[in-house]
A and B are shown apart, each in its own frame.
Chain A
Amino acid sequence: MIFSLILNYRKTLCSGLFFVVLVSFLFSESITSSHLAVLPIFEWMETTWFGVAGKTWGALFAVVQAGHLIGLGVLGGSVIASDGRLLGLFKGLPMRLVVDRCHSIFTWSLGLLVATGVFMACGVAIKIYYMPVYWYKMLALALGVLFVFFIRKPIVDRDLDKVSPWLLRLLALSSIMIWFTVAATGRWIGFS
């Protein structure tokens, strides 16, 4: 009985376990040692070509930043259109097509954001390493990526008429919340 329950709900249980492990890690002592352990990676990032270029050419860094902002705009646009449709907005637009087409735009813009983001991070690696807001952003980003590709996608790929509209609304709401947090914490890195 229990075995079949575990087998039938393994994804649900894994998701729950993931959050339990994540919260325990965040409130444990090991977060400090893990933070210290990744310092050499950030020191190395500043010595890479990206790190040197980002620090040497202010104009290049600014153009990449602008690319990051354009990526943010497009990613946000696709999230608003797709999740807005799931929330019941933009009536008259076919939900299936909007969700599918927005997903590919989302993936491309996420690719642009990660590429430009890595470049920017290399230029100011040590600075961001000591910023709590950078780590909150990375946590939100990791949650967002896992959520979109492993949780939301398999559900919205099904026949949308057969999925509870409340579940779709819940997914849309959490998607908007997580991507807003990723964007807002990212913006705050620039001010700190």
Chain B
Amino acid sequence: MNQLIYNAAVWLDNTEWSTRIHESYYLYNWIESTHVLTLMLSLGILFLIDMRMLGWAFADISANKLATRLNTPMLLGFVVMFVTGILLVYAVPVRSAQSVWFRIKIGLLIICAINALLFHRKMTASIGSWDFEPRAPKALRVGALISLITWSVIVICGRFIAYDWFDCNYPQSDLIRGIAGCIDGQTQF
């Protein structure tokens, strides 16, 4: 599996546009800046909705209305995050694919996606009964808390990707090499 990921990453790394993006100071930085600044649209609004569910903010505003009205800018933000995120990985594919933090981040993103799906389903099923209650029912509160914690850890992991502590081109323990998926005798990093 790791060999397959490595081969795919090397193939991407050898494409013309991957080189163009990572060798262009402005293009790479603009993509990364857009990725980071869109946190305000995606994560910021998601956290507002989560805080409403937990009763920490907007307790006197209809939970359903708040979630529905803020949904569009939030989704727009996540689309931009997703596109710029893919471009960032495409610009530095081998290092990203073998980054411990990137791998944890992807795992957490999958958890977040499942959590969001379950949250949405429970929210649609139960909304009429508690819309103006300061706090959402327990199941939704747990979902909101999972979302807050997981997304915060995702931001930390995203920030850690920039650091080279566990990169495959340095001597690492077997555990780290296993998680990062380092390949014996690999030539591209």
Contacts and interface: CB of A to CB of B under 8 A. Distances in A.
A80 B39 CA distance: 12
Interface residues of A, number: 35
Interface in A95-140: 97-98, 101, 104-105
B44 A76 contact: yes
Interface in B155-183: 155-156, 158-160, 162-163, 165
Contacts of A66: 152, 155-156, 158-160
A184 B36 CA distance: 9
Contact of B40 (A72, A97, A104, A191): A72
A80 B159 contact: no
A62 B160 contact: yes
Interface bracket on B: 20 to 34
Interface in B38-52: 39-48, 51
B78 interface: no
A49 interface: no
A97 B61 contact: yes
Interface stretch (B4-12, B62-70, B89-97, B116-124): B62-70
A85 B43 CA distance: 18
Instruction: Tell me which of B40, B51, B69, B70 has the highest count of chain A C-beta atoms within 10 A of its own C-beta.
Output: B40
Contact of A92 (B29, B40, B43, B65): B65
Interface of A: 58-59, 62-63, 65-66, 69-70, 72-81, 84, 90-94, 97-98, 101, 104-105, 180, 183-184, 187-188, 191
